[in-house]
Amino acid sequence: MDQSKHPILENLPLGRLVMDALGELERLEYSRRSRDRYRAIWEHFIEFSRQRKLGDEFSADLAARFVEEYRMGDEEVDKPGEGWRRHIVFVVWCKGA
């Protein structure tokens, strides 16, 4: 991701960024299911950052670390309780785009 294109996203608190994004998805009339999927992934993203003490601000590096750790491999596609990971790459980078 070219960070020079979106400098306003850098240093924004993750919770605020998520709330703003969810508001935008609602404004754009995304389905409740889609909004819930985005919310679930972003909540995992925030928790990832907190658990590892990586701060509470969005950065491309933080997003890349999260995607690298949680992205699904082919062998994990059908694991129960891990469905939220199917869309992780798209949702995290959508947030940062």
Provide the residue range defining the domain that includes 79.
3-96
Judge whether residue 74 has pLDDT over 60.
Answer: no
Domains of the chain: total: 1
Give the residue-averaged pLDDT of 27-38. Answer: 90
3-class SS of residue 44 = helix
- Taking Cα atoms as reference points, which of 50, 42, 49, 44 lies closest to residue 95? 42
Q: In this predicted model, which residue has the larger pLDDT, 11 or 30? A: 30
Q: What pLDDT shows up at residue 73?
A: 58
Largest CA distance in the chain: 39
